[in-house]
Chain A
Amino acid sequence: QSALTQPASVSGSPGQSITISCTGTSSDVGGHNFVSWYQQYPDKAPKLMIYDVSNRPSGVSDRFSGSKSGNTASLTISGLQSEDEADYYCSSFTTSRTHVFGSGTKVTFL
């Protein structure tokens, strides 16, 4: 199974909105509504930010939202803040009942 495709980096100004894409196939992103997004700071464990395409776990800011169209999922961060600078990974459950992660996206301020 190949890693899901994400842009290597996305930049934005404080207060702006940015969107990170996650492209897979009909065997993963397109085959299920089980897409998750994780935030990871350097030398820290990933933190679940979005599950089942668009659901937020308790305690995650509503500035984070998720969506999906066909084989591409997206994470949108609105009102970009300094603490949002991190790496973001998507993940999908597959039709083979395995998991696959995205290649990762570094979010930085302009």
Chain B
Amino acid sequence: QVQLQESGPGLVKPSETLSLTCAVSAASIGGFYWSWIRQPPGKGLEWIAYISSRGSTTYNPSLKSRVTMSIDTSKNQFSLNLGSMTAADTAVYYCARCGEDCYTIDFWGQGTQVTVSS
């Protein structure tokens, strides 16, 4: 069963760029789509973006101007960059697999807490 593990800084300063990486194990990253989702404290889930194994991306329109996703098939991992961070971006960030056509987000990482504070 595919396993996903997020890594990155737990604390980011306002206006800086968040960089997170998701390492995929027990399965090849090829042939699937991969996604990022976040959850602010005490609130619901928000889909951020997804990327195909060939590097094609789709972003949430509300975050599109600040988001970049990339993928490294040689390392079996993918990444998220979110610019111009503010306190409103404080959340648990999850990476997840999005299936062969990305109709369903099926397997999730455990999540990583990111706090925006000076």
Question: Given contacts A1-B61, A1-B62, A98-B61, are A104 and B105 in contact (CB under 8 A)?
Answer: no
Candidates B35, B45, B46; contact of A46 at CB < 8 Å:
B45
Check if A34 sits within 8 Å of B108, measured CB to CB: no
Candidates A44, A46, A52, A102; contact of B104 at CB < 8 Å:
A52
* Separation of A89 and B45 alpha carbons in the complex (Å): 8
Check: A65 CB closer than 8 A to any chain B CB. Answer: no
Check if A93 sits within 8 Å of B45, measured CB to CB: no
Which one of B46, B103, B106, B109 has the highest number of Cβ atoms from chain A below 10 Å of its Cβ?
Answer: B103
Candidates B60, B94, B104, B107; contact of A36 at CB < 8 Å:
B104
Check if B106 sits within 8 Å of A48, measured CB to CB: yes
**How would residues 23 to 65 of chain A score, 1 for a CB under 8 Å from any chain B CB and 0 otherwise?**
0000000001010101000001111100110000100000000
Candidates A34, A98, A102; contact of B60 at CB < 8 Å:
A98
Question: Given contacts A3-B44, A99-B47, are A93 and B103 in contact (CB under 8 A)?
Answer: yes
Check if B60 sits within 8 Å of A93, measured CB to CB: no
Question: Given contacts A89-B44, A89-B45, A104-B44, are A45 and B105 in contact (CB under 8 A)?
Answer: no
**A residues with CB within 8 A of B:** 1, 3, 32, 34, 36, 38, 44-48, 51-52, 57, 89, 91, 93, 96-104
Q: Provide a sorted-by-A list of 6 A–B residue pairs whose CB atoms are within 8 angstroms.
A: A32-B103, A46-B108, A52-B104, A98-B61, A99-B47, A101-B44
**B residues with CB within 8 A of A:** 35, 37, 44-47, 50, 58, 60-62, 94, 102-111
